[in-house]
Amino acid sequence: MHLCQRCVFVFRCGRISAAVQQSTRILHQRSHDTRSTAAMLQPSHKQLPVHNLSQKYNRETWRPCGMHLRALSSSVQNNSSHLTQKKDENHCVTYDSSDLHQESSQASLSNTHNIGLDAGVRPSPFQEICEEEAVRIQVPSALPPVSFTLRPYVDKSETLSKLVQLGVELWKLEQRPNVGSMLVKLDFHADVAPRLLFLKDLGVEEPKLGSLLTKNPFILTESLENLEARVAYLRSKKFSAQSVAAMVSKAPYLLNFSVKRLDNRLGFFQQQLGLSSEKTQNLVIRLPKLLCGSLEPVKENLKVCELEFGFRENEIRHIVTTVPKVLLANKRKLTEIFDFVHNTMGIPHSLIAKFPQVLNAKFLRIRERHLFLEYLSRAQYQPSQPSYISLDRLVFLPDEIFCSDVALASLEDFEQFQKTL
């Protein structure tokens, strides 16, 4: 924290009581804002997200320290009336309209002019001053008004430091446009804390809160009524409390979607796949991202499975319930894998439907392992015949175990073979 010489002197004198000491410190920071921002307002950088700092909260009243601050607050006019009172919060980020800029700049310019031109009148630092004068001291803030990162504000802002303690990765959030400014604007006790308590009541574990907020900081600006309504809707659809918490942890944007949209999605999956409500629930609990994204890629993937690959209805149902990721997979990659498995490896539809994990695996892995087995003439995928290798063993086992158990060769041989492909 930055204290000028006068304030240090003032504190040492011990003339001001403890209650006012706190207010003076806050005042300091307020006055820092007031002076510095107007003088140093710059046009923000176009490409990088910039966190703007401008003066605000000058008309506020401070609950524990009543009268002293009102005297100060008259210096700059402020338009925003919705601002609530803050204790430690001293940062405010707005994309101000130009007139506010001019207003504030004019006001503080006059202040600067006063101080500059009345140099002779300025008292010496060693002169003792009364309390009211001490309180009215305006010190420029050390905080930059415009910054590309949140680093200068983290120590001073209660919201940001609490978020860091929770485990939120601020460096990822500050790269997204406008998110950094939004976070700095938030008040911890009014905005952030109620929502964190709400998430805790929901059942989201504390270690996961950090990653949740990193992926979806906008949960802090969503209104609590909306969030509660959506949770109530999910509970009404017979999702248990733990499953709702798990879904929210896995898909952080879930609660930002309206009830209508969630309803639409759930209805689509139930109708299209022809699953019972319980199975749809299990599907959605396993992959809650299905409720968040658009439905067009899912429809396309289902069409591809039906028409291009030629799977039957019940086979598609089994595949989707076993490996839900197939619905969100890349169409081109899915086609590539299926083409190789069905045409080159010669595996029929029924066997692929029995082991749908194959469709989720990496294509290069399947290709290299299959060609290795073929080279060793051990590529036997028919269950009826001896030394049968099931598809999930082909795909899931790590390299060493695959080489030793399935291919019955050494890892070096496999690497040598890979270099001949």
- Residues of this chain that interact with another protein (CB under 8 A) are 1, 3, 11, 18, 21-22, 25, 149-152, 154-155, 160-161, 164, 167-172, 363-364, 368, 399, 415, 418-421
d(C-alpha 85, C-alpha 96), whole Å: 20
| Closest to another protein by CB, 300 or 400 | 400
Least Cβ distance, residue 421 to another protein (angstroms): 6
Least Cβ distance, residue 249 to another protein (angstroms): 19
| Closest to another protein by CB, 171 or 388 | 171
Nearest one of 231, 284, 287, 230 to 260, comparing CA atoms: 230
| Closest to another protein by CB, 8 or 224 | 8
Least Cβ distance, residue 152 to another protein (angstroms): 7
Cβ-contact 181, 137 below 8 angstroms? no
| Closest to another protein by CB, 58 or 214 | 214
Which residues have CB under 8 Å from 205's CB, separation 6+?
245, 249
* Helix or strand run (H / E) with residue 147: strand 146-147
Least Cβ distance, residue 41 to another protein (angstroms): 23
Cα angle 153, 182, 224; round to 5 = 125
| Closest to another protein by CB, 102 or 149 | 149
* Helix or strand run (H / E) with residue 52: strand 51-52
d(C-alpha 89, C-alpha 68), whole Å: 18
d(C-alpha 118, C-alpha 110), whole Å: 12
- Enter the DSSP assignment of 122: S
Least Cβ distance, residue 251 to another protein (angstroms): 22
Least Cβ distance, residue 130 to another protein (angstroms): 21
266 burial type by CB count under 10 A (0-12 exposed, 13-18 middle, 19+ buried): buried
| Closest to another protein by CB, 152 or 293 | 152
